[in-house]
Amino acid sequence: MRLLFFASNGLGVGHLTRLLSVAHAVTRHSNGHEILFLTNSEASPFPEEFPFYAIRLPGRNRARSGGLTAKSYLQTVRPLVLQAISSFDPHILVTDTFPEGPERELLPVMEWPILKTFIFREQNAERSQDALFREALRPYHRILVPHDRGSIPLPERFLEDPRIRWTGPIVSPQPHFSRQEARERLGILPESPLFLLSFGGGGDPLSRQRALETASLMRHRKIPFFYASGPLTRNLPPGIHAREWLPVWPIKPFLPAFDGIVASGGYNTVHELLEVRIPALLLSFPRALDPQDKRVERFVAEGRGVSASSENAEAFKKTLETFLASCQNSPESKNQFFPFSGAACAAKEILDLEQRRSTTPS
């Protein structure tokens, strides 16, 4: 069976990571499938655990920086997307967040006789309740919600939709290193304090600014840290020293090495922290579609960490200093892991969809 995963570009790599994880789970579930990634995400190359063939069409930001007008970009990209899908001729199309693609480049494909699966990560209420968004989902045969059942609010219309399947969180499949192994790989002594700064995939100026402010304060306090910049950052970030930079994607296997983390409230980060349970200070950044503030509120309400304002620099600094002091006075983090299995559940739903169609009399 041929499966095409369409991964959109964004300020982070949540869309891409979820789709890579589901595709990986598909290959583990059964052999013999052909998988193609079609993406405008500028995060590359893929980690070695995801050896999928990929066609990359750089997104709008790269087109703009390269001097293309919006008109030239869209007139170039849309036919290339359609040609790639037509040539591969997939049995199943899987998308995330944007049912018609971020530039509506998938709109003609919605009428093609392809099984379609949409991964419906929590979105801002205005978007999920929008009539145009609901209409865009009409051609889809499955809608997979990568959250625990009932853990996020869905409009009543979706709760009654027979296409909805709750899969549980979908995160990178890589296993965690033990604390000892992670520290050995990072070259950190067992007893040394160590923090991680992680502010998404690297595509947001405000999150980069908060990361640099955090790095400056920790450097001044002589607190060791690594800055995980994400795969959208190509070069050593300004204001970060080379010995502080950790350009590793995904960062998940190394999390047990750290005594605490200061991070943004993106989907990947929050759910990876729920797996490993280390002290966390989270900031929510304003996003057009992603309700980071709601996600961070739930994280704090469950007693998993604390939060700070991303837009008030002075308030953030005070909360940061309190958080660092509390972590340094707390016991060493333990190797306790609570892995999610959402990707495996999503893969099963996708493959079952094709099997049911194959066994249904015409």
For residue 335, the model assigns a pLDDT of 63
Q: Which residue has the higher pLDDT, 332 or 169?
A: 169
For residue 201, the model assigns a pLDDT of 59
Q: What is the dihedral of CA 285, 286, 289, 292, to 10 degrees?
A: 40
Q: What is the dihedral of CA 135, 136, 141, 143, to 10 degrees?
A: -100
Tokens (6 digits) for 133: 């968004």
Q: Residue 44: which pLDDT band, with cuts at 50, 70 and 90?
A: low
pTM, 2 dp: 0.92
> Using CB atoms within 10 A of its CB, is residue 138 exposed (0-12), middle (13-18) or buried (19+)?
exposed
The CATH architecture that domain 179-328 belongs to is 3-Layer(aba) Sandwich (3.40)
Listing DSSP states for 320-360 in one string gives: HHHHHHHHHTSPPPP-------HHHHHHHHHHHHHHHHHHS
For residue 83, the model assigns a pLDDT of 97
Closest CA to 170 of 105, 252, 237: 252
Q: Averaged over 95-113, what is the pLDDT?
A: 94
CA-to-CA dists, residue 83 to 77, 79, 241, angstroms: 10, 6, 44
H or E stretch at 317: helix 313-328
Q: Averaged over 191-209, what is the pLDDT?
A: 82
Indicate the CATH number of 2-170+341-359 among 3.40.50.1370, 3.10.450.350, 3.40.50.2000, 3.90.1150.10. Answer: 3.40.50.2000
Domain with CATH 3.40.50.2000 in the chain: 2-170+341-359, 179-328
Close Cβ partners of 218 (under 8 Å, ≥ 6 residues apart):
195, 197, 225, 324
pLDDT above 50 for 362: no
pLDDT tens figures, 265-300: 999 999 999 999 899 999 998 888 889 999 999 999
Tokens (6 digits) for 262: 């200061």
pLDDT tens figures, 75-84: 999 999 999 9
Q: Which residue has the higher pLDDT, 225 or 30?
A: 225
pLDDT above 70 for 134: yes
DSSP-derived 3-state class of residue 283: strand
